[in-house]
Chain A
Amino acid sequence: MAAPTVNQRTTTAPEEGRTPVQTVTMVKALNMGLRAALEKDPKVVVMGEDVGKLGGVFRVTDGLQKDFGEQRVLDTPLAESGIIGTAVGLAIRGFRPVCEIQFDGFVFPGFDQIVSQLAKLRFRSQGRVRVPVVVRIPFGGGIGAVEHHSESPESYFAHTAGLRVVACSNPVDAYWMIQQAVECDDPVIFFEPKRRYYEKAQLDTTATPDPLFASRVLRQGGSVTVACYGPMVKTCLDAATAAAEDGVELEVIDLRTLSPLDLGPVFDSVRRTGRLVLASEAPSEASVTAEVAARVQQECFYSLEAPVLRVTGFDTPYPPSKLEEEFLPDLDRVLHAVDRSLAF
């Protein structure tokens, strides 16, 4: 199999009978992205619990098994280590498996295979063995679910050498990023913000996407830099809209890639604003936001006008869902942190 170039800019022909620009949900965008990946490379297989006939519990894989068959879209037995462990074997054989973990809190039975085999095989074999596996994980809270369905485990994976970790925040990114992740020769842990699954955007399938491992400035502003990812991106954009009414201009950056981090745009922004607020649903301790804060103080020490502040989930287990509105950082908590930063 020819090695696809990471970050390659692809142009897809318009689907027959459709205009290239359409309004889609993130679920639909992911579905279209997976379909494009399956069409493009016969070695791509989609595998997971209920991804076939049911189309996944969120319908991300809806219709794929019907069109690509049971050997391309596999309804697997119910065991996450089995999903990842067999995907590793398929990848050694030359396949490009895209695994679905049904919910964030269920990835841990597969954690051993991810950190012990998937992450290390390239290094152990000195590049002789490639394991281009994508692990899709719907993550984050806000859907009123029972426990283990609302977690944000991304920092465990960002902490593991050999893995690439990304999080999409909107349908357009979802469509492109999932295809780029499949083409990547490294294992990619792909986080999807499940409470944003049914939000819509205009998707132009003929556009040129940004590279996968790049952060992006979504809104420019000179008062305070706000960096976030996944489900918090919409929250922070809403906070920026609200802040603008008070004359405070937030620069909102979607990190997109959590490992490796792409902090160039964050450093540039902080050098202008002197202030940084980081937002995530994940608890703060030893987290992605902790890493960003550490590197910003190292790179932008003389530019900082205030300490880097973080708005995160608490360092507690995820609470019962009637309390999740309190647990999850919302617009007001982001603005409160902005106020505290400006008050320094």
Chain B
Amino acid sequence: MSSPEQWTRPVGQPGAGPRSTDITAATAGTPTRDQVIAGLRATSEGGADLVQLLTPEGERVHHPEFDIEVTPDELRGLYRDMVLVRRADREGNALQRQGQLGIWVPLLGQEAAQIGAGRAMRPADMAFPSYREHGVAWCRGIDPTQLLGIFRGTDHGSWDPLDTRFHLYTIVIGNQCLNATGYAMGQRFEGKVGDDDGEATICFFGDGATSQGDVHEAMVWASVYDAPVVFYCQNNQWAISEPLERQTRVPLYRRAAGYGFPGIRVDGNDVLACLAVSRWALDECRHGNGPVLIEAFTYRMDAHTTSDDPTRYRLSDELEAWKLKDPIERVRVHLVKQQWADQDFFDSVQAEADELAARLREFCVSMPTPGPERIFSEVYAEESPQVRAQRDEFLDYVSGFADAHAGGEH
């Protein structure tokens, strides 16, 4: 078993092998042998500290610190969540391929990491997502149809971030970690932290984001202000084409020690472990013992986005290895082994997933394009004379055409 230290040793250090000589070759279309080996090492083992409650084979294992008991009903619910968000995700991908969406950002493989964290949240807790958190959005009660506008180009996020307690998707990498920390500071300043009724904030970001200054600053701020924020890093091993070793020398969860708060690595493909660790971390925060860093060790089974081509930088072997750790399959196996679910249950979930996909498709193809006045709306709380003048002039100009481009077209 390779340890995290082995795969994070930098180029040129003893034990790193002749990798440095292959750096130039790495820019070519085909990954080098050493890149492949590094990638497989990086992605095959979570290390000894990995928190796991359900093995890839569907065996329930126990952990001394982070154990939880779930009822059959709860586990069936988690299974249903994951199947539905995966189906919505695959439909999003297909809609992009058919030209109905400009782009899609797949979550495939990260269902457990997102559902585990999302279901650990209480209604009053706040989430700040990156842009791949379709599973967390699901847990916050945001219908998958509400995600489509961003990718079809009809809005920048159609849900109410305050009502749903799920902030808008943030595309500039790492920005949301500071915003989440500020929000959590506010929870603390308002006296909403300190007992079991307290509130907490959870912030989602990826392994690539950990290189951003904003993520560092967020962890500094959160620690010095004791902000009730869970930093939830989904380490899916790849930042577009860059493997984890381009972002870090140490395992990410260990960075927390440098800021003076706990860092935990959890099996990001194990929904029970993600639920248990997230629930613990959120509870620590709501009681005033935040912040906490969670590294959900997972894998991006699809491309970065529909515009990406992973065959240029990683081998399908790696994907095949991770398919054996599929987050949904292990729950299905466990449900069967425990006789907590029968074929009717699985069939009904599948039917529900197909209905969801059909509803998504129908919604997507009939989404109206907003009228040009949308360009000028809500730029300022009190309208700017400049923007008003531009709007009036442009709308007048547009209306001068015989086939005026009014709103409501598809």
Interface residues of A (CB under 8 A from B): 3, 6, 45, 71, 76-77, 79, 81-82, 84-95, 109, 112-113, 116-117, 121-130, 161-162, 164, 184-186, 259-262
Q: 9 shortest A-B CB distances, which residue pairs?
A: A89-B182, A85-B178, A93-B186, A86-B182, A185-B381, A82-B217, A89-B183, A124-B156, A127-B378
Is B280 part of the contact surface with A, judged by Cβ < 8 Å?
no
Taking A79-B220, A82-B178, A112-B175 as contacts, is the C-beta distance between A95 and B378 under 8 angstroms? Answer: no
**Contact pattern, B 38-67, Cβ under 8 Å of A = 1, otherwise 0:** 000000000000000000000000000000
Is B214 within 8 A of A85, CB to CB? yes
Taking the closest CB of chain B, its distance from the CB of A238, in whole angstroms, is 31
Is A88 within 8 A of B178, CB to CB? yes
Is B234 part of the contact surface with A, judged by Cβ < 8 Å?
no
Residues 345-404 of B contacting A (Cβ, < 8 Å): 377-382, 384-387
Taking the closest CB of chain B, its distance from the CB of A86, in whole angstroms, is 3
- Residues of B close to A90: CB separation below 8 A: 182-183, 185-186, 189
Is B175 within 8 A of A93, CB to CB? no
Taking the closest CB of chain B, its distance from the CB of A180, in whole angstroms, is 12
Is B224 within 8 A of A93, CB to CB? no
Taking A81-B213, A90-B186, A162-B380 as contacts, is the C-beta distance between A116 and B386 under 8 angstroms? Answer: no
> Which stretch from B10-18, B26-34, B157-165 is at the chain A interface?
B157-165
- Residues of A close to B162: CB separation below 8 A: 92, 128-129
30 pairs of residues in contact across A and B, judged by CB atoms under 8 Å: A6-B381, A6-B382, A71-B189, A77-B217, A82-B221, A85-B182, A85-B218, A89-B180, A93-B187, A94-B186, A112-B172, A113-B178, A116-B172, A117-B170, A117-B179, A122-B379, A123-B378, A124-B156, A124-B168, A125-B156, A125-B160, A125-B161, A126-B377, A126-B378, A128-B160, A128-B161, A129-B161, A161-B387, A184-B382, A260-B384
Taking A112-B172, A122-B381, A185-B382 as contacts, is the C-beta distance between A86 and B167 under 8 angstroms? Answer: no
Is B184 part of the contact surface with A, judged by Cβ < 8 Å?
yes
Is B385 within 8 A of A89, CB to CB? no
Distance, CA A61 to CA B378, complexed state (A)? 33
Residue in A86, A116, A123 whose beta carbon sits within 8 Å of that of B221 in the complex? A86
- Residues of A close to B214: CB separation below 8 A: 81-82, 85, 112-113
Is B182 within 8 A of A125, CB to CB? no
Is B181 part of the contact surface with A, judged by Cβ < 8 Å?
yes
Taking the closest CB of chain B, its distance from the CB of A255, in whole angstroms, is 14
